[in-house]
Copies of this chain bind each other. A is one copy, B any other.
């Protein structure tokens, strides 16, 4: 049985029902390489099954999140993404100017967790991280102060 079916099975073992909606949502998250928003998941589900409601998507996502089958990454700015926990740990570098997003391997952050544990007794979830900043193209004037000169009065 393929990946998402395994999770589906676990779902049932936990005492939850295995509905077509849940299967499809699971499959979509499983198949997608990247990080999907609730809206995107809803769109894709509807391509196969036009009657699925967005509330069902949210309910399912919340369930999967609660059971820790998926992670929720809040990229800020009303941009929440979901993906499977076992997709390998990686993080996101997000440019605050152009919005571009880059992957960051786990290695750089890995040393952090044990230190937090020993120093603060805090077991950090370092599965997913969103780090903001300026990407190479958006910092023409060096790492510091690159953003001080925003637009003029007109609100961003």
User: A residues near B, CB below 8 A?
Assistant: 15-16, 59, 62-63, 66-68, 72, 74, 76-77, 93, 95-96, 102, 104, 108-109, 112, 115-117, 119-126, 129, 131-136, 139, 143-144, 146-148, 150-153, 155-156
**With A66-B150, A150-B66, A153-B15 as contacts: A121 and B135 at CB distance below 8 Å:** yes
**30 A–B contacts, CB within 8 A, in A order:** A15-B152, A15-B153, A16-B153, A62-B155, A62-B156, A63-B155, A66-B150, A66-B156, A72-B76, A74-B74, A74-B77, A93-B116, A93-B120, A104-B116, A104-B120, A108-B116, A117-B143, A121-B135, A122-B133, A122-B135, A122-B136, A123-B134, A123-B139, A123-B143, A123-B146, A124-B131, A125-B131, A125-B132, A125-B133, A125-B134
A104: which B residues are within 8 A, CB to CB? 116, 120
Identical copies in the complex: 2
A112: which B residues are within 8 A, CB to CB? 108-109
Complex CA distance for A66 and B95, rounded to whole angstroms: 15
Beyond the given pairs A63-B155, A122-B133, A123-B146, 11 more chain A to chain B contacts, judged by CB atoms under 8 angstroms and listed by A's residue number, are A16-B153, A66-B151, A68-B147, A74-B77, A116-B133, A120-B136, A121-B135, A122-B136, A123-B135, A124-B132, A126-B131
